[in-house]
C-alpha cells in the first residue's frame, strides 16, 4: 500500500494518491493533473477511481480531465447530482484498489454530499481516512457555503455536521491517520492548524469541534466568527458540479503571444482586463497603464478569484517563462477567458516607447515625516477589519482590499488627496494601488513593508486599537 499527499501551497489544498498492487485512486485532484499522471506512470500503476469528498468551492477540481485521461470512475457521496457521468456511492459502499479497500462514510454538514473515505489495508484494518472539508487539523469545514440549496440554513448544516462527526468520526480508532483536503490559510475553515495531516486520536484531544459538547454548543462554536466567503466560492462550486472546459483548451487560448499592436487592440476592448503578475517591487517601477497587479509570489489564485470578474477576458503581462504557470493557477479557481499575453513582456512595451505608469514607493519613516505636515494626506489601511482592529496608525482609515471591488469604495478618493496605502507587509497594498489607479486616481504612494515596517517605528507614529472600521 502506498499513500502520497500532493499539496498545493498557494491554495492550501491537499490531494492524495493511493495505490495497491498496480491499481490507484486520486482523492480531490486539482485542475492541473500532470502530477497525478506522473506518479502513476513512475509507479507503473493505473488510476482506477477519482474520489471527490464534495463539490469544492475554493478550487476547480481535476476530476473531469483526469477521468478523460485515465478512464477512471469519478465517485461522489450520496445525494450528488451532476451534469456529467459519476458514480454516486451509497453510505458504507466499498471500492477495491488492488489489495486494499476504500469505504464511503457520508458526512453531510460542510455540504450535503460531503463524504469521507476510510481506507482499509490488506488485512482489513482501518488505516487512514480522507476527510475532505468535514474535518481539518484543528477545525471543521464551515457550514455556510451550501445553505442556499433546498432552503437549508447554516445552522441546519452545522447540526448535520455535528451528527456526522459524532456518528462517523468519533467512533473511529485513535491510530487512524487523518488526511484533510486543506491546511492553514484556506478560507474553508477558520482555525486550521499548521500541519497537513494528523491522527483521529490527536484530533479528539485537540480539535475544539470534537470535544464533548451539546449540539447547540457545537453549532454556536462552528458558526461564530466566520468571515464572508470569497466571491469565487459559489462560482467554483457550480463549475465543479456542472463541468468545465479542459485545461489544455484554456492553455491554448491563453498562451497566444500578442505583439504590442495586437495587445493594444485587445486592451482597448471594454470587456478586457490587463493582469500583471510580475513581482510587486518590479511592478511599481513601471507597468502598462490600466493594469491590475496580482503577483505570483503571494496567494495569487485566491486574490484573483476574490477581486477579478469572471465574465471578462484577460490579457497577461508576466515574467518571461511564467505565462503557463499564470494561466494554470488562474484556471485552478475557474478563470477560462484568456486572449493571450504580451510578447516580450513589459520590457518590450517600454523599449517600443509606449506609455507607462508607475506607483511611488515610500518607506515607513517618510510616511511618518509627511503625516504632520500634509493636510491632504490620506492613509489607507487595506488589511482585514480584524487586523486593523488589533492595531493601526491613528490617522488611518480602513478599506479592506476585498472592499475595493465595490463601486462606492473609492467615492471619497480624488487626486487632491495624497493617498498613502499600506497592508501587513506590502503585497496587498500594491494590488490596492493598481485598482485605485485603474479608476483614474493617480496620486498614490505605496508604503514599503506595510504595517510590519510602520510598527517598528513606535516612536514616530501614534497607534490605537479599535474594533471600529471607517469606510
Report the pLDDT value the prediction gives residue 469, as an integer from 0 to 100: 44
Q: pTM here? A: 0.93
Q: How far apart are CA 107 and CA 459, in angstroms?
A: 54
Fold of 2-235: Metallo-beta-lactamase; Chain A (3.60.15)
Alpha carbon distance, N-terminus to C-terminus of the chain: 56
Q: Do 2-235 and 245-351 agree at the fold level?
A: no
Instruction: Name the CATH superfamily, with its identifier, for domain 245-351.
Output: Rhodanese-like domain (3.40.250.10)
Q: DSSP class of residue 227?
A: P
Question: Is there a contact between 143 and 109 (Cβ–Cβ < 8 Å)?
Answer: yes
Per-residue pLDDT tens digits for 236-256: 999 999 999 999 999 999 999
Per-residue pLDDT tens digits for 396-452: 999 999 999 886 777 778 778 899 999 999 999 999 999 999 999 999 999 999 999
Fold of 360-464: Oxidized Rhodanese; domain 1 (3.40.250)
Domain locations along the chain? 2-235, 245-351, 360-464
Per-residue pLDDT tens digits for 66-84: 999 999 999 999 999 999 9
SS3 29: coil
Per-residue pLDDT tens digits for 148-168: 656 789 999 999 999 999 999
Q: How far apart are CA 301 and CA 93, in angstroms?
A: 35
Report the pLDDT value the prediction gives residue 147, as an integer from 0 to 100: 56
Per-residue pLDDT tens digits for 365-387: 999 999 998 889 999 999 999 99
Q: b vs e for 162-201, b when ≥16 Cβ sit within 10 Å of the residue's Cβ? A: bebbeebbeebeeebbbbbbbbbebbbbbbbbeebbbbbe
For the beta carbon of residue 47, count every other beta carbon within 10 angstroms. Answer: 26
Inform me whether the pLDDT recorded for 145 exceeds 90. Answer: no
Amino acid at each position: 500500500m502506498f499513500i502520497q499527499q500532493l499539496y498545493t501551497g498557494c491554495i492550501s489544498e491537499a490531494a492524495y494518491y493511493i495505490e495497491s498492487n498496480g491499481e490507484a485512486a486520486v482523492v480531490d485532484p486539482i485542475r492541473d493533473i500532470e502530477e497525478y499522471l506522473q506518479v502513476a506512470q513512475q509507479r507503473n500503476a493505473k488510476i482506477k477511481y477519482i474520489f471527490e469528498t464534495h463539490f469544492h468551492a475554493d478550487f476547480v477540481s481535476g476530476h473531469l480531465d483526469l477521468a478523460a485521461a485515465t478512464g477512471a470512475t469519478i465517485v461522489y457521496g450520496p445525494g450528488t447530482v451532476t451534469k456529467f457521468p459519476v458514480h454516486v456511492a451509497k453510505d458504507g459502499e466499498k471500492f477495491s484498489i488492488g489489495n486494499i479497500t476504500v469505504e464511503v462514510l457520508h458526512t453531510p454538514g460542510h455540504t450535503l454530499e460531503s463524504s469521507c473515505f476510510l481506507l482499509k489495508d490488506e488485512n482489513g484494518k482501518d488505516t487512514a481516512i480522507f476527510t475532505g472539508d468535514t474535518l481539518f487539523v484543528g477545525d471543521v469545514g464551515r457550514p455556510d457555503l451550501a445553505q442556499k440549496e433546498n432552503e437549508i440554513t447554516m445552522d441546519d448544516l452545522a447540526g448535520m455536521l455535528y451528527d456526522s462527526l459524532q456518528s462517523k468520526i468519533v467512533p473511529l480508532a485513535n491510530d487512524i491517520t487523518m488526511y484533510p483536503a486543506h491546511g492553514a490559510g484556506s478560507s474553508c475553515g477558520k482555525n486550521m492548524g499548521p500541519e497537513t495531516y494528523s491522527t483521529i486520536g490527536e484530533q479528539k484531544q485537540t480539535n475544539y469541534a470534537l470535544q464533548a459538547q451539546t449540539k447547540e454548543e457545537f453549532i454556536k462554536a462552528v458558526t461564530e466568527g466566520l468571515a464572508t466567503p470569497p466571491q469565487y466560492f459559489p462560482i467554483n462550486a457550480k463549475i465543479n458540479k456542472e463541468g468545465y472546459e479542459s485545461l489544455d483548451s484554456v492553455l491554448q487560448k491563453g498562451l497566444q503571444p500578442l505583439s504590442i499592436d495586437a495587445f493594444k487592440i485587445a486592451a482597448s476592448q471594454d470587456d478586457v482586463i490587463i493582469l500583471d503578475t510580475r513581482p510587486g517591487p518590479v511592478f511599481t517601477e513601471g507597468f502598462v497603464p490600466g493594469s491590475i497587479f496580482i503577483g505570483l509570489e503571494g496567494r495569487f489564485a485566491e486574490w484573483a478569484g476574490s477581486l477579478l470578474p469572471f465574465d471578462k477576458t484577460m490579457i497577461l503581462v508576466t515574467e518571461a517563462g511564467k505565462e503557463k504557470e499564470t494561466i494554470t493557477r488562474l484556471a485552478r479557481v475557474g478563470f477560462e477567458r484568456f486572449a493571450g499575453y504580451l510578447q516580450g513582456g513589459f520590457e518590450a512595451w517600454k523599449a517600443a516607447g509606449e506609455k507607462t505608469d508607475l506607483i511611488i514607493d515610500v518607506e515607513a519613516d517618510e510616511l511618518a515625516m509627511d503625516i504632520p505636515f500634509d493636510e491632504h494626506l490620506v492613509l489607507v489601511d487595506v488589511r482585514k477589519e480584524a487586523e486593523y482592529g488589533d492595531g493601526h496608525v491613528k490617522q488611518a482609515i480602513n478599506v479592506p482590499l476585498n472592499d475595493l471591488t465595490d463601486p462606492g469604495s473609492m467615492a471619497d478618493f480624488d487626486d487632491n488627496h495624497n493617498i498613502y496605502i499600506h497592508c501587513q507587509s506590502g503585497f496587498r497594498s500594491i494590488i490596492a494601488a493598481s485598482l485605485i489607479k485603474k479608476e483614474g486616481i493617480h496620486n498614490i504612494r505605496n508604503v514599503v513593508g506595510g504595517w510590519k515596517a510602520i510598527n517598528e517605528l513606535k516612536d514616530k507614529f501614534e497607534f490605537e486599537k479599535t474594533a471600529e472600521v471607517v469606510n
